[in-house]
Amino acid sequence: MIPIVDLKRQYYQIKDEIDNAIRRVLESGWFILGKELQEFEKEFADYNDSKYALGVGSGTEALHLSILALGIKPEDEIITVPNTAMPTISAISLAYAKPVFVDINQYSYNLDPKKLENKITKKTKAIIPVHLFGQSADMDQIREISKKHSIPIIEDCAQSHGALYKGKKTGNFGEFGCFSFYPSKNLGAYGDGGLITTNNRELYEKILMLRNYGQKDRYIHKEKGTNSRLDEIQAAILRVKLKHLDEWNLKRRKLAQIYDKELKEVITPKEMDYAKHIYHLYVIRSEKRESLMNYLKEKGIGTQIHYPIPAHLQEAYKELRINKGTLPISEKYSQQILSLPMFPELNEEEVSAVINSINKFKD
Ligand SMILES: *Cc1c(COP(=O)(O)O)cnc(C)c1O
């Protein structure tokens, strides 16, 4: 069996460090908003070259709180892409805002800046580019349009921990960068978790309140807030793992290069010249996706589809009345994409076995 991801392998590599970190928190008797989170936030901000970092409950919450902090109101429009993990869209709905979709670029699989401007209306209050699969969106182009129309940017960095755009870390190209620590992300907790980066002091202070019942000082509430905090145990775990992130991303890139070089007959991902891709997922395209998937399953090779139904065609969003055919590249790709095994502990023999199977595949 070659799984698409195996989190146990990583745990056993760093077991002592992790076990010690968890024990340290248990023995401290302090579980919410303490030293571990404070230190992790400093370390992550430093890692990401961001001024501020704020640990929150999940990636979805990171996006939701960012939307609230910008003062976005019900009925306001937020532009994003239809081929993303649904939580990008959930966060928009949680704020009662309306998602507006822009199709993706055929090479980057990310928001196509050429299609962005004509989706902007008077109601557009934010743009959420997603750095999908670990590759940054084309931020210069997106920023130029956002500046021209004074619309803030919230980056969805849930799949891009450590990814670069023109040499600079994602999460620094807008008002907010929103990270997820869902266990299988490039930097994953052992439970739910998320984080917001910002370089703006005022916005930082607003999120500080929003994540903690809206209070500025204890029992003094300046905002209508919620409860969304990264707990001490997850923060302590993430402090251990953050030290390994660059080495793990490098390993993913090495495996991706082997796939790139050796895979025939399928379309491999393209690393854009502005990007340093960190391969959260390694996604190929094939016209015979379903039979390829079944064939690989018979060989004991795990695959998945990220994502099979674009957001605008999901039942939950039928009220938007966006017809099939409106966002053609996202729709076409959702029929062709297939994610192959990709995680830092995957070994080169396993990658070779996946490649051999795919290259021998006959429909
Ligand atoms: C994982 C993910 C999220 C949501 O993160 P959670 O921590 O699961 O809430 C948001 N956007 C994208 C693109 C993701 O991959």
* pLDDT over 90, % of the chain: 98
The answer to whether residue 58 scores a pLDDT higher than 90 is: yes
Give the span between the Cα atoms of 112 and 101, in whole angstroms. Answer: 11
How confident is the model over 22-37, as pLDDT tens digits?
999 999 999 999 999 9
Give the span between the Cα atoms of 73 and 98, in whole angstroms. Answer: 10
pLDDT of residue 284: 98
Average pLDDT over residues 141-167: 98
- What pTM, to 2 d.p., does this model score? 0.98
Q: Which of 170, 147, 132 is nearest to 283 (CA)?
A: 132
CA of 310 to the centre of ligand 1 (A): 15
Average pLDDT over residues 60-66: 98
Among protein residues, the one with the nearest Cα to ligand 1's atom 2 is: 158
Q: Which residues contact 31 (CB under 8 A, 6 or more apart)?
A: 25, 231, 232, 233
> How crowded is residue 243: how many other Cβ atoms within 10 Å of its Cβ?
13
Q: Measured in whole angstroms, how far is the alpha carbon of residue 62 from the centre of its chain? A: 11
The answer to whether residue 247 scores a pLDDT higher than 90 is: yes
The answer to whether residue 290 scores a pLDDT higher than 90 is: yes
Determine whether 12 is exposed, middle or buried from the number of CB atoms within 10 Å of its CB (0-12, 13-18, 19+). Answer: exposed
60 CB under 6 A from ligand 1? yes
pLDDT of residue 135: 98
> How crowded is residue 272: how many other Cβ atoms within 10 Å of its Cβ?
18
177 CB under 6 A from ligand 1? no
DSSP H helices, the chain, are 7-13, 15-28, 35-48, 59-69, 87-94, 139-148, 201-210, 232-242, 245-262, 289-298, 328-334, 348-360
59 CB under 6 A from ligand 1? yes
Q: Kindly report the CA angle at 289 between 286 and 294, in degrees rounded to 5?
A: 140
Give the confidence band of 137 by pLDDT, cuts at 50, 70, 90. very high
- Strands 275-276 and 164-165, sheet pairing: antiparallel
Q: Which of 251, 253, 246 is nearest to 271 (CA)?
A: 253
85 CB under 6 A from ligand 1? yes
Q: Which of 81, 87, 77, 80 is nearest to 329 (CA)?
A: 81
Average pLDDT over residues 125-154: 98
Specify the ligand 1 atom closest to the Cα of 159. 15
> When comparing pLDDT for 195 and 220, which is higher?
195
pLDDT of residue 348: 95
Q: Which of 359, 321, 322 is nearest to 340 (CA)?
A: 359
The answer to whether residue 294 scores a pLDDT higher than 80 is: yes
Residue 257 CA: distances (Å) to CA of 90, 194, 253, 277, 359: 34, 29, 6, 11, 16
Average pLDDT over residues 79-93: 98
Q: Which of 291, 324, 363, 361 is nearest to 101 (CA)?
A: 324
Give the span between the Cα atoms of 341 and 281, in whole angstroms. Answer: 8
Rg over alpha carbons for the chain, rounded to the nearest Å, is 20
Give the confidence band of 363 by pLDDT, cuts at 50, 70, 90. confident
130 CB under 6 A from ligand 1? yes
57 CB under 6 A from ligand 1? no
> How crowded is residue 103: how many other Cβ atoms within 10 Å of its Cβ?
22
Determine whether 148 is exposed, middle or buried from the number of CB atoms within 10 Å of its CB (0-12, 13-18, 19+). Answer: exposed
